[in-house]
Amino acid sequence: MKNNILTDYLDQYGIPYDGYRLEQLERFYELLIEKNKIMNLTAITEYDEVMTKHFLDSLMILKYHSFSDGEMVLDLGTGGGFPGIPLKIFLPEVSFLLMDSVNKKLDFISSVIEDLGLKNIDVCHGRAEDLARDKKYREKFDAVLSRAVANLSTLSELSLGFVKVGGCFVSYKGSSGKKELADAEKAIELMGAVPGRDYEYELPGGDKRILFLIEKNTSTPGSYPRKAGTPSRNPL
């Protein structure tokens, strides 16, 4: 097993693991790098960096937030499968839906799910603005997670329509996150939510990261999210 840098930090942060989970992460790494030769899934390909900047970063929520067996979790804008695939490996009894607007990425993720033999996990193609209005997905998830690059105001509008009342939206952000949160307060309130706790940590190499937990306390008004493209062009 090569991933000493990952296990060192999992130990440091008190995130439990076993050999089987590490083997699945290793296999996911192999599949990711192989596919990345013909498709742009990630600019980060060096082994230790993938282990820390993708895998460890995805798993850090486990230090701060408990997921219960049977919960429904949505990974919105999953891209190459982050944070959804690493978290699914570590949370086998939690149900995951990985959503993205790029079908080719979801085809890759579906192949990973099959290769790793993961259960209670699926993919969904479409834009958040449309799918958040679909009764099948509207306010159905205990948690929505996103490592997407959009600003937090836009992400809050796109994400919170999926979250059950009493659930949360978790946004993975970099060092600019505090300013984004201040700018997003209006959007968060309009979506029926309030900022909860935030957690700062540092990845190996010095990357500063923040996890924002935004708590949903009332239903999102039916007028949100606005039509496709508007949340990103004109944040609330």
Domain 4-233: CATH superfamily is Vaccinia Virus protein VP39 (3.40.50.150)
- The whole-number pLDDT of residue 82 equals 97
Q: What pLDDT, on a 0 to 100 scale, did the predictor assign at position 206?
A: 86
Give the tens place of pLDDT for each residue, 77-95. 999 999 999 999 999 999 9
What pLDDT score does 149 carry?
A: 78
- Residue with tokens 């296990």, as numbered in its chain: 7
**pLDDT, tens digit, for every residue of 13-31?**
999 999 999 999 999 999 9
- Using 50, 70 and 90 to split pLDDT, how confident is the model at 214? very high
Q: Say if residue 1's pLDDT is above 60.
A: no
Residue for token pair 């997670």: 145
- 93-97, 125-129, 146-150: the lowest-pLDDT one: 146-150
> Is the distance from CB of 193 to CB of 207 less than 8 angstroms?
no
For the chain, the structural domain boundaries read: 4-233
What percentage of the chain exceeds 90 in pLDDT? 94
Amino acid, res. 69:
D
Give mean pLDDT, residues 58-66. Answer: 97
What pTM was estimated for this model as a whole? 0.95
